[in-house]
Amino acid sequence: MRLHTPPQKPTLLKYILAFCVTVILLAGAPCPVAAAIVLQDMAGRQVTLEQPAQRIATLGSVPVINSMVFALGAGDRIINGLPDFARRPQWAYQYQFAPHLRDLPSLENPDRSVRIEALIQARPDLALTMDRRTADQLAIQGIPVLVLAWRDPEEVRQAIDLLGHALDRAEQARHYRTSFDTTLALVRERLGGAPLRRPRVLYLNPRSMTRPHRVAEWWIAAAGGQSVTDDGTPVETLAFGPEQILAWDPEIMIVSNRQDVDALLDDPRLARVAAVRDRRIAVTPAAAHLWGNRTAEQALTVLWAASVFHPDRIDRKTLESNVETFYRDLYGTPLTPTQIDEILGGGPNPSSTSTGVLP
C-alpha cells in the first residue's frame, strides 16, 4: 500500500535561497552600456565622448565659447573662470549669466597659453577651443577637445548643433536655431519691399587699424550695409591705414568700445571721412561677448546693425523686445530695461567719459 504524501509548501528558507540565486545570476549578466558619442568638430577632427559632457573647460576665446554654452542653458557646467583679458567691465555680464564663474580660477596664463597641469587637475569631460593647435596639444594629454569656428549663418548652426550633441542638449540647440532663424527672417522682412540704399560701413579697431573679425562681412551685409572691407580676402583680421580709410570714405563706422569713438573723432587724419565728419560712429552692444565679433548673440548683432543703418525700418522698441526675449528664453536670465539699455549702449564701461554718437 502506497502512502500519499501531500505536496510541501515552500518554506521561507527556500524563498530566500531562490532570491539569492536570482541576484547572483543577474549580477553576472552583462549590463547595457551607453553608446559612445562620436563627433566631428569644425576642424574636421574626430572626437569621442564616453557620455555627454558635464564638466566643460573653455579655452582661448573664452567669452565667445561661453556665450555658446550659455545659449544651451549649460553655463553651470563650465569649470574655469575668465582669463585675465576678460576680467574687465566689458565682460561683466558673463557673471550675470553664470555667477559661479567669478569664483573659479582661469586655466590660462597671462600670455593666453593653456595651464596644462591645472587643466588636467580640473578633470574636464570636454574642452572647447577655437584653435586647432591647442586642440591637438591637449588631445595628446588624453583630453577630449572640440574645435568650434564660424563665420557665417550655416556655420553658427553647425556649431550649436555640435555642442548640443556633446552636452545632450539637442532640444536646446533646436530652440536656439529657431530663435536665430526667426531673428534673421525679421530683418529680411523689414529690409524688404521698398528699394534699400546700403550705406558704406567700416567695422574697425582704431588702435590696431584692423577689421577684427571676418564675421563682420556677413552681419554688415545681412543688416543692409555695404562693408568697405569686403573684398573677398580670406583672412580673419584685415589691416589697413588711415589713407585707406580716407579712400573708402565710410558713411558709418562701428567700434567695440566707447573710448574708440573718442579716438576716431580726435584723429586729425580722419577728419574728412564722412562717418567722422557727420559723427556717425556706433559702439557695438556687449553682453556675453562683443556683438561685433563671433558670439552666440550674432543674430542680435544683425538686428542691432539694421536698426543703426535703417532706423526707419527697425525701431528701438523692436530691438529691445528681441533682446529681452533672447536672454530670457535662451540664457535663462530676465533683464531689466536698464540692463538692456546698458547692453545696447556698449556694455558696462564705467571708465568711459564719451557720450557716444549713434544710438
pLDDT in tens, 124-149: 999 999 999 999 999 999 999 999 99
DSSP for residue 90: G
Cell numbers that stand for 74 in this block: 549649460
Give the mean pLDDT of 159-171: 97
Q: Which domain holds residue 44?
A: 37-168
**26 band by pLDDT with thresholds 50, 70 and 90:** very low
Task: Return the pLDDT at 168.
Answer: 97
225 and 164 assigned to the same domain: no
Tally the domains of the chain. 2
| DSSP bridge partners of 126 | 56
Task: Return the pLDDT at 38.
Answer: 95
153 and 229 assigned to the same domain: no
74 and 136 assigned to the same domain: yes
42 and 156 assigned to the same domain: yes
254 and 161 assigned to the same domain: no
CATH of the domain at 97: 3.40.50.1980
**Considering the domain boundaries, does residue 177 fall inside one?**
no
210 and 308 assigned to the same domain: yes
207 and 340 assigned to the same domain: yes
Task: Return the pLDDT at 351.
Answer: 54
SS3 331: coil
- Surface-to-core class of residue 304, CB atoms within 10 Å of its CB (0-12 exposed, 13-18 middle, 19+ buried): buried
The lowest-confidence range among 13-17, 179-183, 205-209 is 13-17
Cα separation, 286 vs 275, in Å, equals: 22
Amino acid letter, 104: L
Q: 53-87 pLDDT, tens per residue?
A: 999 999 999 999 999 999 999 999 999 999 999 99
Cα separation, 241 vs 206, in Å, equals: 9
Amino acid letter, 34: A
Contact 55, 77 (CB under 8 A): yes
Closest CA to 269 of 289, 297, 294, 241: 241
Cell numbers that stand for 296 in this block: 552666440
127 and 203 assigned to the same domain: no
